[in-house]
Amino acid sequence: MDRRQNVGRPRSPSDNRGRLRTPRARGSVRRGDTGAYPLPSRPWRHMAGMLGNRGTQRAIESLRRDRLLRAPLSPEEREENLTAEPYASSEQLQNAYDNAPMLRTGASGEAVALVQQGLLDDGVPLPLSTTQGTQPPDGLFGPETAQGVRAFQDRHDLLVDGIVGRETLGALQELAGRRTAPPSGETTPTEPEPEIPPLSTAEYVIQVLRSADTRMLDALRADGAFLDGMQALMSPAQFGEAAACLCLVIPGEVQHPAEAKAEALRIMAAQLAGDPATTRRAIDRVRGLIIPANRLSTDYPPFSSLAGTATADGRTWDTVRGIGNTPLGDLRYSTFPEENLLGIPCTATYTPTSGPQAGIPQALGQYPEGYSVATHEFAHSLHGAALTDDDSETIDDAYEERKDEAEDAPTDTDMWVDGREGCYASTSVAEFYAQLSNAYLGTNAGTDAVTGDTRHNGKPWVRAHEPEVYGILERVYAGSQVEGTNPVSAPLAGGAAAPEPAEGAATAA
């Protein structure tokens, strides 16, 4: 559902660039892919060096080093453990290997003593901690140990910060493994490690962005030099993947954050795969916000301003899961309902305060399998804030022409992408475009809630019936297809399949 009423679209003189044609490119992110690849140490410094701009380095240095220069560990990485003794048997070091928490100045105990011994074994002197080498390490993480850690980190080309976490423990473990390796001539049978193809510079940057925290993403969104470097470095499809990372917002209450993030990024990358100019405007102006399956959309700004008010068709905004192009400052926000991303039940309820249902919690129902609220609402925001004025004029003209034709054939189920006159796509130019966008992407499954007509779904219908709008979608989406959305019969999280949609549940965003 579009929220553009009485809201002007931000524009710049560079918006009217005509209809650009870019080589057909398709996103590389598959459903269920979390994008977890092994990354070299010091990813932000490495990325800044590859992109070759000082803006990235300024952004990094302006933030806390110990937080930014370590990408948050993925669920798969957190499952990894130290395996070499003496480190593997220390619970405190296993936690430090997960950066939860790391060892730093002020720590003490056996875990610190093991780290100190590892430093000594690598030739790092600790005279105070060992009473000039006459005693075992004292297990106190003081200034001398911190300096010894920094010396070890510098020697092994790690981030030099005097803190012991995943990187430093990984290096200590590797050295311990070498010391305990079989003597020369003896071999220990091992399973061959799978060969990991090297990442290109563009792929590397995308993977780092996927693991970045909110604070770092905020800094990079505002760094024009960094964005210029990415755009010059990447293909349109890769730039779309990177932009998706910069446009997605994930509240802490999301129930399945890793799975929801992966699916949201897959969808957004598809809708940003074509025209880099549109993608760049989306980075500056558009955000997609995942709404937890157990929370109302109006629990989160900017949608909270709609709480207690009614939609144009008489619904209460609190019950609406799909909301798009909603302004907050200079940005336009769209909802990405978690249950629609993953095919899980929506457990959020709304309790009216007046009327015959006052005080009775109301279930919100579920969209049909294969219908994506996310693609529909993100299309609203792109339409409102990232397309050019020429694009908007083309869409307006196509809608008015379709309305004129519908007057002569109101019952023709091939008139609109959702069926006959009166269907959801016929209610406004915004819904017309968003539903055509869904059909182009293959995410318009189901029937229209008002007419009961089967929605048209697929590029051929759009190309045949709305060729001008199809040209815009082809330029912006570059042939993208988003398969398997809202997988109710095989949810991406939660185990059990979601129930069938409740009778009378809304089936259009």
Q: What is the DSSP string of 450-472?
A: TT-PBPP-SHHHHHHH-HHHHHH
pLDDT of residue 193: 54
Same-domain status, 225 and 110: no
Same-domain status, 110 and 231: no
Same-domain status, 244 and 155: no
Which of 38-52, 208-222, 322-336, 466-480 has the weakest average pLDDT?
38-52
Helices (H), 39-98: 43-51, 54-61, 65-68, 75-78, 91-97
Over range 217-229, report the average pLDDT.
88
Cβ pair 303, 321 in contact under 8 A: no
Domain count, the chain: 2
Same-domain status, 156 and 92: yes
Share of the chain above pLDDT 70, in %: 78
User: Which span out of 73-77, 227-231, 381-385 was modeled with the highest average pLDDT?
Assistant: 381-385
User: What one-character DSSP code corresponds to residue 101?
Assistant: S
Distance CA 43, CA 54 (A): 15
Residue type, 265: L
354 part of a folded domain: yes
pLDDT of residue 495: 42
74 — pLDDT class (breaks 50, 70, 90) = confident
pLDDT of residue 282: 97
**Which residue would you say has higher pLDDT here, 497 or 124?**
124
Same-domain status, 205 and 171: no
Distance CA 357, CA 376 (A): 30
**What pLDDT digit, counting tens, does each position of 40-51 carry?**
444 555 555 555
Residue 26's SS3 state is coil
What ranges make up the beta strands (E) of 257-330?
A: 286-291, 326-328
Cis link prior to 251 (omega < 30° from 0)? no
**Which residue would you say has higher pLDDT here, 136 or 63?**
136
Flag whether the pTM goes above 0.85: no
Q: Which residues pair with 2 in a beta bridge?
A: 324
Residue 333 belongs to what H/E stretch? strand 331-337
**Which residue would you say has higher pLDDT here, 179 or 30?**
179
Q: Which residues pair with 164 in a beta bridge?
A: 103
197 — pLDDT class (breaks 50, 70, 90) = low
119 part of a folded domain: yes
- The C-alpha torsion from 52 through 54 and 59 to 60, rounded to 10°, is 60
pLDDT of residue 189: 58
Q: Among residues 304, 339, 367, which one ends one of the domains?
A: 367
287 part of a folded domain: yes
469 part of a folded domain: no
Secondary-structure percent of the chain, ordered helix, strand, coil, rounded to 5: 45, 5, 50
Residue 150: CATH number of its domain:
1.10.101.10
Same-domain status, 231 and 335: yes
Over range 30-37, report the average pLDDT.
46
328 part of a folded domain: yes
**Which residue would you say has higher pLDDT here, 74 or 261?**
261
**What pLDDT digit, counting tens, does each position of 102-118 carry?**
999 999 999 999 999 99
pLDDT of residue 159: 85
**Which residue would you say has higher pLDDT here, 51 or 373?**
373
Same-domain status, 166 and 290: no
Cβ pair 373, 424 in contact under 8 A: no
Distance CA 43, CA 40 (A): 6
Statement: residue 23 has pLDDT above 60 = no
Distance CA 249, CA 221 (A): 13
**What pLDDT digit, counting tens, does each position of 268-299 carry?**
999 999 999 999 999 999 999 999 999 999 99
Same-domain status, 279 and 147: no
99 — pLDDT class (breaks 50, 70, 90) = confident
Which of 14-23, 134-143, 415-424, 494-503 has the weakest average pLDDT?
14-23
**What pLDDT digit, counting tens, does each position of 232-252 carry?**
889 999 999 999 999 999 999
439 part of a folded domain: no
Residue 286's SS3 state is strand
- The C-alpha torsion from 507 through 322 and 248 to 267, rounded to 10°, is 20
pLDDT of residue 356: 85
178 — pLDDT class (breaks 50, 70, 90) = confident
130 part of a folded domain: yes
Same-domain status, 173 and 219: no
Q: Among residues 367, 386, 405, which one ends one of the domains?
A: 367
Same-domain status, 221 and 349: yes
Range of the domain at 298: 200-367
195 part of a folded domain: no
Specify burial of residue 272 (Cβ count, 10 A radius: 0-12, 13-18, 19+). Answer: buried
Statement: residue 28 has pLDDT above 70 = no
pLDDT of residue 158: 87
Angle at 280 between CA 279 and CA 284, to 5 degrees: 115
Structure tokens at 332: 């336009």
**Among candidates 176, 208, 217, which has minimal Cα distance to 86?**
176
Same-domain status, 143 and 254: no
Average pLDDT, the chain: 82
Distance CA 235, CA 244 (A): 14
Same-domain status, 232 and 123: no
pLDDT of residue 499: 37
